Amino acid sequence: MILPFFRSLCESKGVYRLVKEDIKIRTAELEDAARILQIQEEVIAEEDFLTTDSREFFKTVEQQRDWIKKILQNDREIILVAEIQNEIVGWLVFLSPGRIRLSHTGSFGMMIQKDFRGKGIGKSLIKGILEWAKLNPFIEKVSLGVFSTNERAIALYKKMGFIEEGRKIREFKRNDNEYIDDILMYKFV
């Protein structure tokens, strides 16, 4: 249940704003499930910077719709989409643990269609989630995990004020001889 004062601040939980002249950030809707899933499948297929391997990802549009619905019903969670000319080109999901002692925290993951990277979309989505988190009466800490090999993302997160708080050494195994650290970052809002 969304608190009435928070609803008025965020237009029924949505952060609707024009970030740049051509990039619109808004809260995802159930009708966005197919496009969000398509981007997710494309990004996972690249197999560069995600924990999920394409061989283990099987999700239907209906399952994606149910996932979106569950998130949108939680006051401490949200999915934002980035649109260019009314087409979704990226999205960010913020999830918060169900435990009472962690309920002031949450972490996000983000996926942007390959052809639209490097155009400010990631930065716009992060600005959107930080704005939402500041208005949210429950969230105090925004966290993320990032592959140590994802230098562009790490640079963006640092530029946005995120601080490294730890590192899980050799957390991800890409093949028999290649391991990647998971860098944990945070920002208080």
The average pLDDT across 131-156 equals 96
Contacts of 11 (CB under 8 A, 6+ apart): none
The average pLDDT across 49-69 equals 80
Query: How far does the chain reach from its first CA to its final CA, in angstroms?
Result: 22
Farthest CA pair distance, the chain: 53
Domains and CATH numbers, the chain: 14-140 (3.40.630.30)
Higher pLDDT: 4 or 74? It is 74
Question: 81 - beta bridge partners?
Answer: 26, 91
What is the C-alpha to C-alpha distance for residues 159 and 122, in angstroms, rounded to an integer? 12
Q: Is the pLDDT of residue 21 over 70?
A: no
What is the C-alpha to C-alpha distance for residues 189 and 137, in angstroms, rounded to an integer? 11
- What's the pTM? 0.87
Token pair of 74 as six digits: 């939680």
Q: Write phi, then psi, for 105 (nearest 5 degrees).
A: -120, 170
Q: Write phi, then psi, for 177 (nearest 5 degrees).
A: -120, 5
Q: Are 40 and 9 in contact (CB under 8 A)?
A: no
The average pLDDT across 35-60 equals 79
Q: Is the pLDDT of residue 19 over 80?
A: no
Q: Are 70 and 30 in contact (CB under 8 A)?
A: no
The average pLDDT across 112-141 equals 95
Region of residue 120 (phi > 0: left; psi between -120 and 50: alpha; otherwise: beta): left
What is the C-alpha to C-alpha distance for residues 130 and 124, in angstroms, rounded to an integer? 10
The average pLDDT across 45-61 equals 72
